[in-house]
Chain A
Amino acid sequence: MGRVVEQGIQSLNGTLTARADSQAASSTPRSRAGWLLLPSLALVLLGLILPLFLMAKYSVSHFEAGAVVAEGLTLENYVRFFSDPFYLWILLRTLTVAFSCTVVCLLLGLPAAYILSRISHPIIKTALILATVVPLLMGNAVRAAGWMVLLADRGLVNSTLIFTGIISEPVRILYTGSAVVIGLIAVLLPFMIISLQSVFEGIGEIYEEAALSLGARPWKMFFRVLLPLAVPGIFSGCLLCFVLAVNAYATPVLIGGPSFQMMAPKVYEQAIKVYNWPFAASLAFILMGVTFILTVLSSLTLQKRYGTV
Chain B
Amino acid sequence: MTHRSVFQGGLDRRRFLELGSAAALGALLPSETKAQGAELVVSNWGGDWNERIVKGFENPAFGSSQLRIVHDLAPVPERKAKLLAERRLPRGTVDVTWLSDADAYEMNSQGVLETLDVSRIPSSGHIIEKFRLPYLVPCIYGGVVILYNPAKIPTPPSSFADLWNPKYAGRVGIMDQIYFNYIYAASLANGGTMGDVSKAFPALLDLKKAVQPRLYPSHQTLAAAFQSEEIWISANYSARAVQWEKEGLPIRWSYPKEGAVFISFGAGITKRARNTEAAYQYLEAMLQPKPMGAISVATSYSVATNNAELNPEARKSLEFTADQVAKLNFVDYPYAAKSDPKWVEWWNKEFKA
Q: Are A257 and B215 in contact (CB under 8 A)?
A: yes
Q: Which of A125-133, A210-218, A267-275, A295-303 contacts B (4 or more CB under 8 A)?
A: A267-275
Q: B81 contacts which chain A residues (CB < 8 A)?
A: 271-272, 275
Q: Are B217 and A253 in contact (CB under 8 A)?
A: yes
- The yes or no answer to A65 lying at the interface (CB within 8 A) is yes
Q: Which of B126-134, B240-248, B295-303, B340-348 contacts A (4 or more CB under 8 A)?
A: B340-348
Q: Are A68 and B215 in contact (CB under 8 A)?
A: no
Q: Are B338 and A254 in contact (CB under 8 A)?
A: no
- The yes or no answer to B31 lying at the interface (CB within 8 A) is no
Q: A257 contacts which chain B residues (CB < 8 A)?
A: 176, 215-217
Q: A152 contacts which chain B residues (CB < 8 A)?
A: 224
Q: Are B217 and A153 in contact (CB under 8 A)?
A: no
Q: A153 contacts which chain B residues (CB < 8 A)?
A: 228, 230
- The yes or no answer to B314 lying at the interface (CB within 8 A) is no
Option from B217, B230, B341 in Cβ contact (under 8 Å) with A65? B341
Q: A274 contacts which chain B residues (CB < 8 A)?
A: 340-341, 344
Q: Are B78 and A68 in contact (CB under 8 A)?
A: no
Q: Are A86 and B349 in contact (CB under 8 A)?
A: yes
- The yes or no answer to A259 lying at the interface (CB within 8 A) is yes
Report Cα–Cα, A152/B334, bound state, in Å. 40
Report Cα–Cα, A223/B169, bound state, in Å. 55
For B218-244 the 0/1 string (1 means CB < 8 A from A) is: 000000100010100000000000000
- The yes or no answer to A154 lying at the interface (CB within 8 A) is yes
- The yes or no answer to A66 lying at the interface (CB within 8 A) is yes
Report Cα–Cα, A152/B77, bound state, in Å. 28
Report Cα–Cα, A20/B67, bound state, in Å. 68
B131-154 at interface with A (beta carbon < 8 Å) = none
- The yes or no answer to A261 lying at the interface (CB within 8 A) is yes
Interchain pairs with CB closer than 8 A, number:
55
Q: B176 contacts which chain A residues (CB < 8 A)?
A: 257-258
Q: Are A68 and B84 in contact (CB under 8 A)?
A: yes
Q: Are B77 and A272 in contact (CB under 8 A)?
A: yes
Q: How many residues of chain A are within 8 Å of chain B by beta carbon?
A: 23
For B315-338 the 0/1 string (1 means CB < 8 A from A) is: 000000000000000000010011
Report Cα–Cα, A25/B339, bound state, in Å. 66
User: Nearest-CB distance from B253 to chain A (Å)?
Assistant: 23
Q: Are A272 and B78 in contact (CB under 8 A)?
A: yes
Q: Are A273 and B77 in contact (CB under 8 A)?
A: yes
- The yes or no answer to A77 lying at the interface (CB within 8 A) is no
User: Nearest-CB distance from B287 to chain A (Å)?
Assistant: 30
- The yes or no answer to A102 lying at the interface (CB within 8 A) is no
Option from A66, A154, A261, A276 in Cβ contact (under 8 Å) with B348? A261
Additional A-B contacts beyond A175-B215, A258-B176 (14; CB < 8 A): A65-B339, A65-B340, A66-B106, A66-B109, A67-B110, A154-B230, A253-B217, A257-B176, A257-B215, A258-B352, A259-B352, A272-B78, A274-B344, A276-B341
Would you mind naming 29 contact pairs between A and B with Cβ atoms under 8 Å apart?
Answer: A63-B341, A65-B338, A65-B341, A65-B342, A66-B106, A66-B109, A66-B334, A66-B337, A68-B84, A86-B349, A86-B353, A152-B224, A153-B230, A175-B215, A175-B217, A253-B217, A258-B352, A259-B215, A259-B352, A259-B353, A261-B348, A272-B77, A273-B77, A273-B344, A274-B340, A274-B344, A275-B81, A275-B84, A276-B341
Q: Please report A residues at the B interface, Cβ cutoff 8 Å.
A: 63, 65-68, 86, 152-154, 175, 253-254, 257-259, 261, 269, 271-276
